[in-house]
Every structure is written in C-alpha cells, then in structure tokens.
Amino acid sequence: MMKRVNTLSSEQTKEKKQTIFSGMQSTGVITIGNYFGALKNWVKLQDEYNCLFCVVDLHSITVKQEPAKLRQSSRDLLALYIAAGLDPEKNVMYYQSHVPQHAELSWILGCYTYMGELNRMTQFKEKSQKHVENINAGLFTYPILMAADILLYQTDLVPVGHDQKQHLELSRDIAERFNNIYGNVFTVPNPYIGKVGARIMSLQEPTKKMSKSDENVNAFISLLDEPNVVMNKIKRAVTDSETTAIYADDRPGVKNLMDIYSCATGETIEKTKEALEGKGYGDLKKIVGEALVAEMEPVQKRFFEIKQDKAYLDSIIKKNAETASYLANKTLRKVKKKIGFPE
C-alpha cells in the first residue's frame, strides 16, 4: 500500500512538470554558439521539465543538402545531444522527419499566418541574401514549421539562443490567433534565453553572430574541433587596439572571449571579470582557450563512444519517435476537430 502511494505521488509530480521543446538543425557540426546558447541550457533544464529535443532535419532542407551527409549529420547531432549530457531515457529525443505530424500541423498553421508576418523575419532576409540561387518557399515558411514543432507538444518553454527570439514571438502570435478563434487549443510558449551565451559572436567579426556557415573557419569553433585547433582559433580571435582585458560593450571581441570563458567554466560574469580583467590579450586567450578545451574534451570523448554504438542509437531513435508521435497526435486530433475536418 505504502509503495502505491509513493508511486502515485511521483507520477503526480511528473504530471505537474511543464514542457520544454527545442531543436537544432542537422547541417554539419554544431558550434560552441549552439552549445552555449542552447544545448548546455537544455542539459541544465532536463530534470525540472518534461523535455522534447528534436533534430530538426525538415528545417535543414531549406538550404541544399547532400543526402549522405545530411543523414550522417542528423545521426551525429543526436549522438552529440547525448554526449553533452541529455538523457535519452528521460527526454524525448528524435528526428523531426520521423514524426509526420510536424509537417501536417505546419500546413494548417500556415493558413493562420500572414505573408506580412513572414516578410518581417530577419533570418529569412539574411538567408535569402546568402542563398540567392535558392530562395525557396520553404525558406520563407520555415517559421511556421518551427511554430508547429513547438505548439504540437503544448510547450511552455523554449530554450534557444537570441537569434530565435523573433521566430518565437511569431509562434506565440500564431498560437494566440488560433486560440482566439477556436478556444484554448494551444499553450502559448515562452522563450528561455540564457543570460550569458545567448549570443556567442564570430571570432573574426565580433559584432556578428558566430555561425557554422561562415566562410572563414577561424570565425567559429565547432564542438568537435580538436584542442590545438581550438587554441589556435582563440589565439587568432580579433580583439581591439587596447592591451588589457575589460568587459565592455564597446570591446566586443574581448567581451565575447570573456563570455565564452563564463559559459565554459559556469562562472558568473562578475567572477569572470575578477578572473580576467586586466590580463594582457596573450594571457586572456590562453586562459579562455584552455577553459574551452576542458569543457569540450569530455563531450567529444563521449560523442565518439556513443557514435560507435549503432544499436544503442537506433533503439533510442525508434522508441522516442513513437513517444513524440503519440504526444503530437493528441494535439493534432484536437486541432482537426476544432477546425471542422470530418472525424
């Protein structure tokens, strides 16, 4: 009897937990920007929330992809999620392309989203400038698919980097618009944007976001870069014409290095300033580089172990996609009924 009471209360606690959804595109290896802006926060939040972490491969094809590479990088990304500390037994981790409800809800929500809203999306403007030869409709409607990802699971909180804030706001607007017509169908999600690390900047142009698609490989650090590569990229990082470190907005290169240190060590900005302000740039870069390597090495080691274990990864993928599909269907059924599709 006693045991039953305990079980019940733990289930009740589980029910009360709020839901998190987030995802990353599987295009090449992720950067320390993706890691500090998103993935590391997911790891911190996984115990407090019911979490779904998706490899958003449907989003990836808005730019041209090579099939074999896409397949491999999706798999690697899932292995990296686990290597970074996400527990596949506790969280629902899966490929977006395995759960067709994402695309289905996306079509529906597209009919409740205005062209003018999509036209305002800065990421669309940036990406269409970058890929002039391939400004496809998917690139334009991308934020609707993102809204579908989130709303499908009645998500309360979406941990992302700063660059996704505008997309999140659109997801909220779509949810509210739909709810105003049909009653309370969707939970209206809130963004979770970390205090430090939400905007890791390019090492070569520190006023620009760090991005894995940067043509200059010295501008970004991939989570799988080897220690000597990391040290060299940090050494080459653009700073300014001053000589000693100060944490200030008008010193973006130095500020970025100090932010990276704070993220890698888990120290507050205050403690980071105490540790690094006044250092010469040579010393600063050495300390930051070493802290970064210390943070990355165990993740890399686990990644290569997990990657070997094909059977383990396959079992996770299958089981979690089924769970996601089950949860997604609950929302989708409700949506279809409200709209008036025949049962």
Would you tell me which residues interact with ligand TYM (CB under 6 A)? 21-25, 33-34, 37-38, 56, 59, 146, 149-150, 158, 160-161, 163-164, 167, 198-200, 209-210
- Catalytic site residue from 16, 44, 130, 212: 212
Sheet strands side by side (includes 50-55) = 92-95, 50-55, 19-24, 157-159, 190-192
Question: What are the residues whose beta carbons fall under 8 Å from the beta carbon of 288, sequence distance 6 or more?
Answer: 234, 257, 258, 260, 261, 264, 276
When the beta carbons of 29 and 185 are compared against ligand TYM, the nearer one is 29
Beta bridge partners of 54: 23, 94
Minimum gap (Å) between residue 97 Cβ and ligand TYM: 13
127 assigned to active site: yes
Judge contact between 77 and 303, C-beta under 8 A.
Answer: no
When the beta carbons of 165 and 312 are compared against ligand TYM, the nearer one is 165
DSSP state of 200: P
209 assigned to active site: yes
Judge contact between 145 and 163, C-beta under 8 A.
Answer: no
Which pairs with CB-CB distance under 8 Å and at least 24 residues apart come from 87-91? 87/46, 88/316, 88/320, 90/46, 90/47, 90/51, 91/46, 91/51, 91/52, 91/53
When the beta carbons of 164 and 262 are compared against ligand TYM, the nearer one is 164
- Catalytic site residue from 40, 209, 233, 279: 209
- Catalytic site residue from 3, 125, 127, 336: 127
Minimum gap (Å) between residue 158 Cβ and ligand TYM: 5
The length of the chain in residues reads: 343
Judge contact between 31 and 212, C-beta under 8 A.
Answer: yes
Structure tokens at 8: 């019940």
Structure tokens at 94: 């899966």
**Residue in the block written with tokens 């500090």:** 36
DSSP state of 91: S
When the beta carbons of 224 and 312 are compared against ligand TYM, the nearer one is 224
When the beta carbons of 53 and 279 are compared against ligand TYM, the nearer one is 53
Minimum gap (Å) between residue 13 Cβ and ligand TYM: 25
Minimum gap (Å) between residue 30 Cβ and ligand TYM: 7
When the beta carbons of 279 and 328 are compared against ligand TYM, the nearer one is 328
Minimum gap (Å) between residue 147 Cβ and ligand TYM: 8
List, by residue number, the catalytic residues. 127, 209, 212
